[in-house]
Structure 1
Amino acid sequence: MKTYYENTQAVMKELGQLLGKVSQEQITSYAVELLQAEQVFFIGVGRVRLALEAAVKRLTHLGIHCHMVGDLNEPPITRNDLLVVGSGSGESVIPLEIAKKAKGFDARIVHLTSNSTSSIAQLADVIVQFESPSKSSRVFTSIQPMTTVFEQALLLFHDVLTLQLMEEKGISFEELKANLANLE
């Protein structure tokens, strides 16, 4: 049986390798989309949704107007907005149908995925590819169950991207702190 510390090292290695392979060109295209959109909507299911909810919270701290699809305070999407679709396989039913709907309103679409040829990818304006296991692909064999490494990568990816966006927007840590929730 591996120890907690041995598993920690293995997981960190997997995540480091996965995040290190994301295309800088794709990252830059995604950042441009985030900064140009009037509003940014996020959709994902299960643990992907949880990772994207964390991204919404952090990007909101940067002054980017973000929403999770399905939330009670979700406004309508328009042609000036962006839909970010997280789905490793790119075939998840709910995100796929939401992407189709957003396309009907001429919204831009970014797809965060491990399958750049998926049904959702066909609708996307920008694809950010994570070379990770998904329901439809086994790029490498993770020590973690199912699609865990993809979900973890989404969380860390957005936290690292935040640093780049802070620099691009000229936001200091103190300014960011001013946008934190204060009813906690």
Structure 2
Amino acid sequence: MSTYTEATKQITEEITSSLSNVDSEQVDQLLEEINKAEKVFFVGVGRVLLSLQAIAKRLAHLGVQTYVVGQITEPAITDKDLLIVGSGSGETQFPLIIASKAKQYNARVAHIGANPDSSMSEYADVFVRIPVSSKIDAPGEVHSQQPMKSLFEQSLLLFGDSLALMMVNKKNIELQSLWEYHANLE
């Protein structure tokens, strides 16, 4: 039985390992797509969706027009927009269907996942690999002692915060100015 301190150390080491092995060129490509998109949509399921919702909220704080697929105020996607798919396996059916639909409207698709050779690769214009353990057991995977796919979901959330910090730094955004985008009906 592990202590809280041991469990925390294990988790943070795994996250550090996974995030430090993300390809920075892939990240730069994703940032370029986000910056040129008129609107950025997000799709995923389960805990991955929760991480994506947090990323969408943070990017909205930076002035990006973000929408989560299925939200009541979701507008139409167009050829000026980007769909970001979060799926570790790249095989989850709902995101695959939505990515296919987005391509019908000539939107750009970015996939953040663990498996570069997944079915999602048919639709993805950009791929960012978070190299966590997967069913394919590819070289360079970070193996986790955590249940299920927790490491992917955690890494995805912090990956989004890393993207946001990169955007702040590249655009020389004054942090205090971001409060104008923060929810104020709280």
**TM-score normalised over the length of structure 1:** 0.97
| Bigger shift: residues 173-182 or 5-14 | 173-182
Show the counterpart of 1:32.
32
SS in structure 1 of the partner of residue 88 of structure 2: coil
In structure 1, the residue matched to 2:136 is: 137
Per the TM alignment, residue 102 of structure 1 is displaced from its structure 2 partner at its CA by 0.3
What is the rounded CA distance, in whole Å, between the counterparts of 1:61 and 1:99 in structure 2?
Answer: 25
SS at 1:110 equivalent = strand
Give the equivalent residue in structure 1 for 2:163: 161
Structure 1 partner of 2:179: 177
Contact 1:85/1:99 (<8 A) preserved: yes
Q: Structure 1: which 5+ runs fail to align? A: none
Task: Tell me if 1:13 matches 2:13.
Answer: yes
- Structure-2 separation of matches of 1:137 and 1:67: 31
Secondary structure in 1 aligned to 2:63?
coil
State the shift of 1:171 in Å. 1.1
| In structure 2, distance between residues paired with 1:177 and 1:116 | 37
Task: Indicate the SS of the match to 1:120.
Answer: helix
Matched-pair contact (CA < 8 Å) for 2:85–2:99: yes
Identity of aligned residues (%): 46
Distance in 1 between residues matched to 2:10 and 2:75, nearest whole Å: 42
Q: Is the 8 A contact 1:85 1:111 kept in 2?
A: yes
Unaligned runs of 5+ in 2: none
Q: Name the counterpart of 1:106.
A: 106
Give the deviation of 1:133 after TM superposition. Answer: 2.2
**What's the RMSD between the two structures over aligned residues?**
0.9
1:140 Cα shift?
4.0
Q: Distance in 1 between matches of 2:156 and 2:130?
A: 9
TM-score of the aligned structures, taking structure 2 as reference length: 0.96
**How many Å separate the matches in 2 of 1:69 and 1:156?**
21
Amino acid at match of 2:114: S
Query: Is 136-145 or 110-119 further displaced after alignment?
Result: 136-145
Deviation at 1:167, TM superposition (A): 1.6
The offset of 1:50, in angstroms, is 0.1
What amino acid is aligned across from residue 158 of structure 1 in structure 2? Answer: G
Provide the C-alpha distance between the structure 1 equivalents of 2:34 and 2:86, rounded to a whole number of angstroms.
15
Q: Does 1:69 align with 2:69?
A: yes
Deviation at 1:169, TM superposition (A): 2.1
Q: What letter is aligned with 1:137?
A: I
* Larger displacement relative to structure 2 (140-149 or 89-98): 140-149
Worse-superposed segment, 112-121 or 138-147:
138-147
Give the Cα–Cα distance (whole angstroms) in 2 for the partners of residues 170 and 181 of structure 1. Answer: 22
* Structure 1 position 149, deviation (Å): 0.2
The answer (yes or no) to whether the contact 1:61–1:179 under 8 Å persists in 2 is yes
Question: Which residue identity is paired with 2:136?
Answer: S
